[in-house]
Structure 1
Amino acid sequence: MRRRYQIGLSLLLAVSAITPASAQELEKLSIVVFGAPSLGAFLPPVIKQLKLDEKYGMSIDFQERTPDAYTAQFNSGEFKVGGSAALLTVGLADIRGVKVTYLFNLFDYWGAVVTSRPEIKTIKDLEGKDIAAAKGTTNYVMFDWFARQLGVDTSKLSVVNTATPGLVGYALADRATAVQLWEPAYTTLHAKKPSIQLLDLKIAESWEKATGSRNIPYLGVAAHVDWAEQHKALIPKLYAAYKDAGAWTVAHPDDAAKLISPKGNDGDRKAIADIIRANERLGMNIRAAAEVKKEIRSVYDAGRSIAFLPSDPSDATIYGGPMQ
């Protein structure tokens, strides 16, 4: 009880330090994100609990969707702003004539392949086997690229496509030879099944060899170009809200874990807090798109090399407007 009180007091003090704009001045904004567990759903509960949207004169309504529904509803313009904006998906939308722009990065890439089968030692061993994955996500596309760097013929993988919330269940039930997922799903899974085997993708080594950098912009916030042009003054406020949420999360990992995993048990929340502290797998890196333009282009190059992108996305996909 005392612990709950202390956490509640910590949150209350954080909220009380914020002076939100009056309700009449709040600009309404609807943002579509992936459902939990996902990186897109990581910071929204922090933003809402601490009223960081109100601090910057906004009232944000975060709407959760599956990856396929997210892509369809964002690309169609039903939602003008997306908070689970995978960079390669933004690039592909642009090539297909949907004018969108990557406003800022939230997380760098990290992906994993796990298995409970003792005979599977490496990614190469998965050729000819089934692997459960959310195939419509950029995380899977990037996995495809990294697997190829290790000499894997990914056309020989039998992919069982499922939505991101189902990946942990596949791994727990051992319903496929392997499962491709990422944070925070990996940490949630490992907390429930510590014996699960992680297959090494050699992400940092392969990326540095190919690009000369270890930064891999992966997921952030994107918007339709027409919306961005009409809301230039709002974008820096949205960026500031996310930056504040990220800084608070890093400073208060235990409290943040309770917001990010409200339905989880103590073990789940401890695992979330641990990855926030370490950040190696989480990869939180909140940067304006213009600051990582070179790295974004490297991600586009990777997408082209595996034929996910048929051509180069336009410069307009990398937002260059002011962020202050």
Structure 2
Amino acid sequence: MNSVFKRIVSSVAIALASVGIAQAEAPKEIRLDYAYYSPPSLVLKRFGWLEQDLKTENIPVKWVLSAGSNRALEYLNSGSVDFGSTAGLAAVLSKANGNPIKGVYIFSRPEWTALVVPKDSPIKSIKDLKGKKVAATKGTDPFLFLLRSLHAEGLKKTDIEHVALQHADGRAALEQGKVDAWVGLDPLMAASEVEAGSKLIYRNVAYNTYGFLNVTEKFAKDHPDHVKKVIAAYEKARKWIIANPDETARIVSEEAKLALPVAKLQLTRNDFRNPVPGEEHVKAFKSAASILVEEELVKKGTDVNKVIDDLIEPSFAKAVVR
């Protein structure tokens, strides 16, 4: 009887220990950013699908607004969020400089940046930027778009006067005549087109890098199942967007406090069809990696190709996307 009792106690102890381990593996909360340049994040936040999925586990969801890739990457690096929405090449740059992140999902393939000038500007091309004031937010796709565009025309950053402004301030500076050009970001770029008549004089979708959902390496290691749950919620939002473009435009309009025509224009420049990170993205980033080295945006000797290979992590999305 005594031995039976001991076996029962032992079994209960093992069961309790297992429960304790399971509880230890669940995060106390999940912190995500939302961004006006990421329509899926706005849809997901609006409908609360992730909150519903996590309700049985009593895991709360915290949303933090990112005003640009640079802000999202700062939040990830400081541990303020677990998931952050950024341009792909901006994530490469940040990881190369020590930010421990993984790119686990593609929230869109956007054309969200271009060279913007006022409606009456004499500037007609990239070459015309020489000696001009150009606004762009450091550490973001627009900034890297600017550098790549200059290099393609035989110009350097020193050939222009770069004015480092956050995206919204860049739009304001352009429309107030304080800068000659702005490398914009949707939906602010679309708003400037619709509301101020600003012109997109240089567009190159190949210089727009993908919209990446990044997660901290620590969260991915400690909570792999919950990474998949977040991606599953994003998948629900992505499929809903494809099926409901008009309603999506209304949500973007309301969340970002934009006119509906602006939101509709923004959405025409997003492709939501391929959410799994993979070789396509590796190749695109490696073809652009030289700009990071040439402009000394990464430490000397950094193996950027290795950084790219380490950043892109398709396994979570492959397990979820159907």
TM, length-normalised to structure 1: 0.75
Asked if 1:46 is matched to 2:43, the reply is yes
**Deviates most, 183-192 or 44-53:** 44-53
CA–CA distance in structure 2, aligned partners of residues 174 and 247 of structure 1: 41
Deviations 1:293-312 (A, max 9, x none): 43343343553454434431
Residue in 2 aligned with 1:219? Answer: 211
Aligned partner of 2:116: which letter?
A: V
Asked if 1:272 is matched to 2:274, the reply is no
What secondary structure, in the 3-state scheme, does the structure 2 residue paired with 1:132 have? strand
CA–CA distance in structure 1, aligned partners of residues 98 and 256 of structure 2: 41
8 Å CA contact retained: 1:91, 1:309:
no
CA–CA distance in structure 1, aligned partners of residues 107 and 146 of structure 2: 19
Asked if 1:98 is matched to 2:99, the reply is yes
Aligned partner of 2:165: which letter?
A: T
CA–CA distance in structure 1, aligned partners of residues 284 and 273 of structure 2: 13
Show the 5 A alignment for 1:18-37.
28-34=29-35
Asked if 1:300 is matched to 2:289, the reply is yes
Corresponding pairs, count: 280
8 Å CA contact retained: 2:103, 2:213:
yes
8 Å CA contact retained: 1:80, 1:223:
yes
Asked if 1:77 is matched to 2:87, the reply is no
Gaps of 5+ in 1: 1-24, 208-215
Show the 5 A alignment for 1:177-216.
177-194=180-197, 196-204=198-206
CA–CA distance in structure 2, aligned partners of residues 51 and 202 of structure 1: 35
Gaps of 5+ in 2: 1-25
Q: Structure 1: which 4+ aligned runs deviate by more than 6 Å?
A: 263-266
8 Å CA contact retained: 1:80, 1:227:
yes
Residue in 2 aligned with 1:137? Answer: 140
How far the C-alpha of 1:222 sits from its partner, in A, is 0.7
8 Å CA contact retained: 1:183, 1:282:
no
What secondary structure, in the 3-state scheme, does the structure 2 residue paired with 1:139 have? helix
8 Å CA contact retained: 1:86, 1:220:
yes
Residue in 1 aligned with 2:89? Answer: 88
Pick from 298, 310, 316: which aligns with 1:322? 316
What secondary structure, in the 3-state scheme, does the structure 2 residue paired with 1:146 have? helix
TM, length-normalised to structure 2: 0.75
8 Å CA contact retained: 2:253, 2:262:
no
What secondary structure, in the 3-state scheme, does the structure 2 residue paired with 1:62 have? strand
Check 1:65–1:229 CA distance in 2 against 1; reply closer, same or farther (3 A cut).
Answer: same
Among the aligned pairs, what percent are the same residue? 19
Aligned partner of 2:81: which letter?
A: F
What secondary structure, in the 3-state scheme, does the structure 1 residue paired with 2:225 have? coil
How far the C-alpha of 1:55 sits from its partner, in A, is 4.6
Aligned partner of 2:129: which letter?
A: L
How far the C-alpha of 1:224 sits from its partner, in A, is 1.5
CA–CA distance in structure 2, aligned partners of residues 186 and 299 of structure 1: 23
CA–CA distance in structure 1, aligned partners of residues 153 and 159 of structure 2: 14
Bigger Rg over Cα: 2
Deviations 1:160-219 (A, max 9, x none): 22112223322332321111102222211111023x222124444xx6xxxxxxxx6432
Pick from 157, 163, 166: which aligns with 2:166? 163
How far the C-alpha of 1:80 sits from its partner, in A, is 2.7
